[in-house]
Amino acid sequence: MRELRYEAPKTLKAALALLSGANGHAAVLAGGTDLLIQMRAGRVEPGLLVDIKNIPELTSIVAEDGGFRVGAAVPCMELVEHEAFANAWPGVIDAVKLIGSIQVKGRATVGGNLCNASPAADSVPAMIAAGASVSIAGLNGGREARVEDIATGPGETSLAKGEIVTSFLLPRRPPRSGDAYLRFTPRSEMDIAVVGAGVNLTLDDNGTCTGARVSLGAVAERVLLVPEAAAALIGTRVDDAALKRLAAAASAACRPIDDKRGTREFRIKVAGVMARRAAEIALARSLSDLAPTNSLRKTARKQKSI
């Protein structure tokens, strides 16, 4: 067996120096729920593991500019149990809750889910729909990027050698905003998305949609942001006609593969259905901000039963 070095630096600077100074492949170890399995299967053979869980800014959730900064090495269960975050971003929590078992969520991180670059990653469409950005650190300085610009293909990212995603920034939410994530899987737990859809929208006080983001997982080589699907909602009251246009635009954006989990044709059709249902949940959640006497509330209640 090849020699495998392990380091657990306490500062970001030390972690970056280790990654840049390594001969051969150095891997960032966060939760390890993907990496350790890939190593045992011989798919990756790092000579150095840099454990980033002892670096405080990578493992904390803090308020920032009315939004949240989530460390890339925060385990999923900590995010799920963070009440303020869960109230603000229920769609991100929908997605995070679907990642593996409670045991896996106890270790797995949202940063790892992004950098593992699976097209079927559950948290990624929700983060893209939320408009989240990431901070990236490197020895030559830091940069910011949109979540949708990290994965470039299965297992491939736009990160340069030695760069680390350190945190996610979820922006301040305008009032009357809601988000949701849904996926299609043959069983309800412990499965991998055949199609995933994240929708985030904001209404004005008349119930007209003023902003929307739609993202689809497992229908292309990477998770997609679908502006055409969002455009179908903006300026409408998210009525049936708008939802039909959203579904059609979502299906049109898909370029999936055929595999054991779903055929190309099935994924294209189901992407529209999932996007529509996620939009209906996001709508109901955004309406819960409107006055209780408003007739829109009734629509919300009706739509919760979908």
Partner 1 sequence: MAKHHVTATINGDAVEFLCETHQSLLEVLRDELGLTGTKEGCGTGDCGACSVTIDGRLTCSCLVLGVEAQDKSIQTIEGMAAGTELHPLQRKFLEHAALQCGFCTPGILIAARSLLERNPDPTEEEVRYWLAGNLCRCTGYHKIVDAVLDAAREMRRE
- Positions touching partner 1 (CB under 8 A) are 1, 3-6, 8, 29, 31-33, 36-37, 39-40, 49, 51, 53, 75, 77, 100-104, 106-107, 189-190
What DSSP character marks residue 57?
A: G
The distance of closest approach from Cβ of residue 44 to partner 1 in the complex, given in angstroms and rounded to an integer, is 13
Instruction: Name the residue nearer to partner 1 (CB basis): 50 or 238.
Output: 50
First vs last C-alpha separation in the chain: 53
Q: How far apart are CA 56 and CA 8, in angstroms?
A: 12
The distance of closest approach from Cβ of residue 256 to partner 1 in the complex, given in angstroms and rounded to an integer, is 25
Q: How far apart are CA 269 and CA 151, in angstroms?
A: 24
The distance of closest approach from Cβ of residue 103 to partner 1 in the complex, given in angstroms and rounded to an integer, is 5
Residues 90 and 180: beta-carbon distance below 8 Å: yes
What DSSP character marks residue 284?
A: H
66 sits in the region (left: phi over 0; alpha: psi -120 to 50; else beta) called left
Instruction: Name the residue nearer to partner 1 (CB basis): 27 or 271.
Output: 27
Instruction: Name the residue nearer to partner 1 (CB basis): 82 or 297.
Output: 82
The distance of closest approach from Cβ of residue 305 to partner 1 in the complex, given in angstroms and rounded to an integer, is 17
Mark out the alpha helices in 22-107 (DSSP H runs): 35-40, 76-80, 83-88, 90-97, 102-107
Instruction: Name the residue nearer to partner 1 (CB basis): 5 or 255.
Output: 5
Q: How far apart are CA 161 and CA 164, in angstroms?
A: 9
The distance of closest approach from Cβ of residue 3 to partner 1 in the complex, given in angstroms and rounded to an integer, is 5
Q: What are phi and psi of 237, to 5 degrees?
A: -95, 25
Instruction: Name the residue nearer to partner 1 (CB basis): 121 or 253.
Output: 121
Instruction: Name the residue nearer to partner 1 (CB basis): 108 or 218.
Output: 108
Q: How far apart are CA 86 and CA 36, in angstroms?
A: 29
User: For the sheet containing 61-64, what is the strand order?
Assistant: 61-64, 67-71, 164-170, 133-138, 141-146
Task: State whether residue 45 is helix, strand or coil.
Answer: coil
What DSSP character marks residue 169?
A: E
The distance of closest approach from Cβ of residue 30 to partner 1 in the complex, given in angstroms and rounded to an integer, is 11
The distance of closest approach from Cβ of residue 164 to partner 1 in the complex, given in angstroms and rounded to an integer, is 18
Instruction: Name the residue nearer to partner 1 (CB basis): 51 or 57.
Output: 51
